[in-house]
Amino acid sequence: MYVTNVQSLKKNPSEALRHAEQEPVLVMKGNEPNALIFNLKTSLGDINEQLKPALAASLFKDRVLSLGAATQILFANWFHPVKIRA
């Protein structure tokens, strides 16, 4: 998963769109995840499979979530997410 911030997105939105053709793009606002960008040609099933592990790893690596909270993302039902305490 490619991670960018709002400032970088404003400066060069085409870079985020190029990355979105290959993988979801996570947009951070400060230290918080704010938005996801993904290519509309990608199926929702593929996005779900790419997104959960990538999001969990990225947020754990950036110390936004604990290991336990990141693990909950992996096993949460996508349409009924569990509440995660950071």
Say how far apart CA 68 and CA 70 lie, in whole Å: 5
This prediction has a pTM of: 0.56
Whether 82 is covered by a domain: the verdict is no
Whether 81 is covered by a domain: the verdict is no
Whether 80 is covered by a domain: the verdict is no
- Number of independent structural domains in the chain: 1
Strands laid side by side in the 25-29 sheet: 2-5, 25-29, 32-37
pLDDT by residue (tens digit) across 1-60? 789 999 999 999 999 999 999 888 989 998 888 888 988 887 777 777 777 887 788 888
Domain housing 52 = 2-75
- Residue reference for tokens 């996801």: 36
Q: Are 9 and 26 in contact (CB under 8 A)?
A: no
pLDDT by residue (tens digit) across 10-21? 999 999 999 999
